[in-house]
Structure 1
Amino acid sequence: MKISLSISGISTVMTLIAAFCAPVLAQETVVVRPREIDDVLMNPGIGFMTFQRFNGDDLNAGKGWTEGKPIVYQEFDGDLQNKDHPMTTIAYFRVYWKFIEPEMGKYRWDLIDHALKTARRRGQTLMLRIAPYGTGKENDVPGWYRNLVGEKKDWPVEKWQVDPEDPRYVKHFGKMIRALGKRYDGHADLESVDVSIVGAWGEGAGSNRLTDKTRESLIDAYIDSFKQTHLVTLLTDEKTNGYALSRTDVGWRIDCLGDMGGFNPRWSHMNDYYPQAIINFGVRDAWKKAPVTLEVCWVMQHWKDQGWDVDHIIDESLKWHISSFNAKSSPVPKEWQPSVNRWLKKMGYRFVLRKFTYPAAAKAGDKLSFTSWWDNKGVAPCYKEFYLALRLKNEQTTEILAANADIRTWLPGDNLYDDAVLIPDNIPAGEYDLQIAILDPLSNEPKVKLAISSRRPDGWYSLGKIKIAD
């Protein structure tokens, strides 16, 4: 198998040569209109995720969940299916600083390495948050740091365990984040990293009270260290979200999706905080460049027990351009499965190839021109650098022709992409199957499932026949 790079456009010189050279190949154009399918598709970086678990693991019992501590690995029987929970392509690991740096300057990278390897084996990538602390003494900052700064005091924010304005906090927590980035930025199995800077569970409580110096120093530790892996900020306040976005394209997340009044019957996150904060904190258009990932408030069964409208919650999340959802590895109520399937068909990206045209015949060494019309029926783009490719294949020969498309720019709705890819001059003459796929640049294998029929067992999609002449 060979892979050939794309050559965009058709030069005037080549066009004139083709016009005057004989014999001239018949310029019959093949028009392909693939049939759309309605299946739920598992694709990279979108959909539900597991939490402190992986595909094939048992879910949390009842309405409880675990977080912040090292993963307790379950014995794996080889079955990747998740009972009462959608299959996923993301595993989310949230761990407290104390476990990553139990001794000053000595990091337990093995905790992350093991999670990354397990995620890969289970068909997932790893989303990561290192939270500075949780609540209570058992979920405190590292013991060595507590000894440095002394006992917990009554800070102005209830969910602070230590004073973030103490310069030692920026020094040590920031140093750990920079070391994290040095080791893992761009790791193929790392989905994204949460920009966790302060507050219980790293949710950002009190971010608005930080001085500019402290806020910017903590955010800079992430942005300076992660140039390739996507960063996701908590939706906290105008200054924090605004500063992060002023430096780079970052996504955003919330950790209480679905709250319709569980804390206060006259106030809810869904009606009185999130819609306003998305606008006021300047993240309304952040989804165009980086992912929006949302987390359930409590668990979905709690939503049902409270009588909250799951379809309303789903529709709000789609309006906010959700790509992925953390249900905390808790069961999805069976009665809600149709609604969840509807959600999964809109969450993130969903590419439908509406129309594709190409010449019925071409010559080796020439360019194969094509036009394509794509409909992204999801609510977000694909944020990964996968590439579009055509394949010429028969019993003797396989050639992959890479196009120059940047699928990260394919926003919801219609997208046109026309190109011309070079046919190798040494390809044998004959009839070939023309196929299309979106590939992983690391493996050069199909990575994205399209919402069309004609998918082959190897992940490529058949378009039709083409004749290649010498």
Structure 2
Amino acid sequence: MQKTERLSDKRMRLIPKVALFIWLLYSSNMWAQIGESSSQKLVAVYPEESDELLLNPGVGFTTFQRFNGDELNEGTDWTEGFPIEYQDFDGKLETNDYPQTTIAYHRINWRFLETGPGLYDWGIIDKALRIAEQRGQTLMLRVSPYEGGDLKDVPSWYRKLTGEGKSDTLLSKKWRVNPENPEYLKYFGGLIEALGKKYDGHPHLEAVDISFIGYWGEGDGMHLLSDHVRVGLINKYLDNFKKTHLIFQPLNGDAPRPELLVRGTKIAAYWPDGTNNGEGSDMRHLGWRIDCLGDMGFWNDFSHMLDVYPQDIVRSGMKDAWKKAPIAMEICGTFLRWLEKEQYDEEVVNYIFEQALKWHVSTFNAKSSPVPSKWNPLVTEWLKKMGYRFVLRKFTYPSKVGQQGQIIISSWWENKGVAPIYRDYRLAIRLKGKKQTAVLFTSADIRNWLPGDVIFDEKLYVPIDVPPGEYRLELALVGSTDQIPRVKLANKGVNEEGWYPMGKILVTD
């Protein structure tokens, strides 16, 4: 026993020596990596945070059947399903009583796109994409099979082709034709296939809603479909949109177990809950949307906010989908209905906004209807948290570096939003001199910058053609194929070109 104790004491005395050795080994290795910069002064920058409301790609409000600068819908009504009625544009992107946006949402019905069997009027979408770009927006798109009323029925040629009348014997009250008819998969599915082949990966197409059954394509009665039809229709999207984000709406409240809606389809592998990994198949992550944010009891017998969304987001395995794909939400009714008919007060509105943040919302379709002025402060603070919001907390770099030498940077960031960014923007460093400017791209994948702290370090080499001299070191989040700053940081001090100056650096002989 005594011998054991002495041996234990000896081991204890060795621990500080071992720890010191490990630290010295690590330190020497670290400084060896720093190399040339080890003898140089490091510049540490602590950028000042900004509380400004940022207008950034892929987050915030969307316009609906309209664009930045257009007049809003009047009262509590809105338009959808028809081709967009374009308004005269006076050059001003701001709209009274509505936030400026980076996304235009367009929802159009099947009958307007497919004018005859296999005959597509792509000019409708081409124009919407073009106008969105001109107004500083990307386009979010849904093609609905039909809505209510004769003017929003399925294409008239389709009824003639199938001989189907407007039957009351369908399994769902929100079905207008029989989706089990083979012609439905052939033609509506064919439209989606053609849509994907033409527009997948378009730089100004933000996302596409998966839509194929029920009024507005919102999925009513999806669980009543045979596996063959359900799988066939869903896979028309999955097989033909490999680059553009897809958003799915399975939380329509008409099925007791939403996870059964996707049984047997590729979608089951999209939910990152660990139960379905899609092993052996070409899987991407899939976002989701809800269409009635703010329903606290519109129809008296149930509430989407209390009786559907909280439960089904968890039961369907979708609660972690936000980590890889965007979450989109649409207002129930309009803000004016919330105020005038439902008589919501600020406490209720704030509760709704907090729930949306808890569910990691990135975009919100308020149907281009006015925001009551009394709620502007709540909306502004909500927008500051929606999606991503990057703050640079600390940035270090060497004060000087030799030609073709290493610039070793270290950075601490914080994402103060509730979601990551979903597009592949790049963190770039710019050396701006009197005679020459060089842009260095880092290896950072900012799509992995989840809410909270992020540490990113990198070694960058000074290009061979950069001559000795003094340079301003700047950084920015730029496009994936250009050197243009695209994403604003929640930091002060941005220059007129969209770059954030960190300080000076000397390139020596």
TM-score w.r.t. the length of structure 2 is: 0.87
- Establish whether residue 380 from structure 1 lines up as the match of residue 393 from structure 2: no
Distance 2:117 2:190 in 1: 10
AA in 2 matched with 1:345 = K
Q: Which amino acid aligns with 1:285?
A: D
- Structure 2 counterpart of 1:5: none
Is 1:151 matched up with 2:186? no
2:476 corresponds in structure 1 to: 437
1:167 match: 182
- Cα distance per residue 1:166-212 (max 9 Å; x no partner): 12111111111010010000000000000002100011101111122
Residue 16 of structure 1 and its aligned partner are, at CA, apart by 6.0
- Secondary structure at the aligned position of 1:187 is classed as coil
Matched, 1:195 2:210: yes
**Counterpart residue identity of residue 289, structure 2:** R
Equivalent positions of 1:289-328 (< 5 A) are 289-305=324-340, 306-308=342-344, 309-328=348-367
Q: What are the equivalent positions in structure 2 for 1:258-407 lying under 5 Å apart?
A: 258-264=294-300, 266-305=301-340, 306-308=342-344, 309-407=348-446
Superimposed CA distance per residue, residues 275-326 of structure 1 (whole angstroms, 9 cap, x where no aligned partner): 1111111211111010001000110111122122110110000000000000
Alpha-carbon distance in structure 2 between the residues aligned to 1:311 and 1:363 = 55
* Offset at residue 123 of structure 1 (A): 0.1
Structure 1 40/214 Cα, relative in aligned 2: closer, same or farther at 3 Å? same
Secondary structure of the corresponding residue to residue 81 of structure 1:
coil
Question: Equivalent residue for 1:46?
Answer: 59
Q: Which residue of structure 1 lines up, in the alignment, with residue 250 of structure 2?
A: 235
CA contact (8 A) 1:84 1:334 kept: yes
Give a deviation string over 1:338-378, Cα, whole Å, max 9, x none. 00001100000000011111111111212211111110000
1:135 matched to 2:135: no
Residue 255 (structure 1) aligned to one of 291, 296, 299: 291
Q: Distance in 2 between matches of 1:240 and 1:222?
A: 16
- Aligned partner of 1:62 in structure 2 is 75
Question: Does the 8 A contact of 1:358 with 1:369 survive in 2?
Answer: yes
Q: Report the Cα offset of residue 17 of structure 1.
A: 9.8
Aligned partner (choices 114, 117, 122) of residue 135 of structure 2: 122
In the aligned structure 2, how far is the partner of 1:159 from the partner of 1:141?
13
1:414 alignment partner, one of 453, 472, 497: 453
Q: Cα gap change, 1:18/1:334 in structure 2, threshold over 3 Å: closer, same or farther? A: closer
Maintained 8 Å contact 1:233/1:241: no
2: distance between equivalents of 1:388 and 1:29? 21
The separation in 2 between residues aligned to 1:366 and 1:228, in whole angstroms, is: 37
The percentage of counterpart residues that share the same residue type is 51
Give the secondary structure class of the aligned counterpart of 1:345.
helix
For residues 141-172 of structure 1, the C-alpha deviation after alignment (integer angstroms, 9 at most, x for no partner) is 11111112210212111110111111211111
Shift in alpha-carbon separation, 1:158–1:467, aligned structure 2, 3 A: same
Match of 2:298, as an amino acid?
Answer: G
1:26, CA displacement in angstroms? Answer: 3.4
SS at match of 1:224: helix
- 1:25–1:312 CA distance, 2 compared to 1 (3 A): closer
Contact 1:241/1:283 (CA < 8 Å) preserved in 2?
no
- Evaluate the alpha carbon distance shift between residue 419 and residue 25 of structure 1 in structure 2; reply closer, same or farther with a 3 A threshold: closer
Answer with 135-144 or 80-89: which moved more.
Answer: 135-144
Q: Counterpart of 1:469?
A: 508
| 1:318 counterpart SS class | helix
Letter in 1 for 2:165: E
Equivalent position SS for 2:430: strand
8 A contact 1:241–1:282 mirrored in 2? no
- Structure 1 residues 13 and 341: CA distance shift in structure 2, 3 A: closer
- What's the C-alpha RMSD, in Å, of the aligned pairs? 1.7
C-alpha separation in 2, matches of 1:198 and 1:102 = 19
Greater shift after overlay, 168-177 or 335-344?
168-177
The answer on 1:428 being equivalent to 2:467 is yes
Distance 1:117 1:186 in 2: 15
Give per-residue Cα distances to partners, 1:62-108, cap 9 Å, x unaligned.
11100000000001011111110000000000000000001110101
Between Structure 1 and Structure 2, the one with more helix by share is: 2
Q: Which runs of 5+ in 1 are unaligned?
A: 1-11
- When Rg is computed on C-alpha atoms for both structures, the one with the higher figure is 2
Equivalent of 1:180 in 195, 219, 237: 195
1:420 partner SS: strand
| Structure 1 stretch displaced more, 293-302 or 434-443 | 434-443
Q: Is the 8 A contact 1:25 1:362 kept in 2?
A: no
Instruction: Return the alpha-carbon distance in structure 2 between the equivalents of residues 402 and 442 of structure 1.
Output: 11
2:498 corresponding residue in structure 1 = 459
1:84, 1:333 within 8 Å by CA — same for their partners in 2?
yes
The CA deviation string for residues 386-414 of structure 1, in whole angstroms up to 9 with x for no partner, is 10000000221110000010000000111
In 2: Cα distance, 1:13 partner to 1:353 partner: 28
| TM-aligned CA deviation for residue 25 of structure 1 | 7.4
Does 2:234 align with 1:219? yes
Question: Which residue matches 1:4?
Answer: none
* Contact in 1 for aligned 2:31/2:38 (Cα 8 Å): no
Contact 1:235–1:278 (CA under 8 A) maintained in structure 2: no
Q: Secondary structure at 2:177's aligned position in 1?
A: coil
Change (3 A) 1:390 1:245: farther
Structure 2 segments unaligned to the other structure (5+ residues): 1-27, 252-257, 270-282
Task: State the Cα distance separating 1:385 from its structure 2 match.
Answer: 0.5
TM-score (norm 1): 0.94
Structure-2 separation of matches of 1:245 and 1:438:
34
SS in 2 for 1:48: strand
Matches within 5 A, 1:27-38: 27-38=40-51
Q: Alignment partner of 1:447: what SS?
A: strand
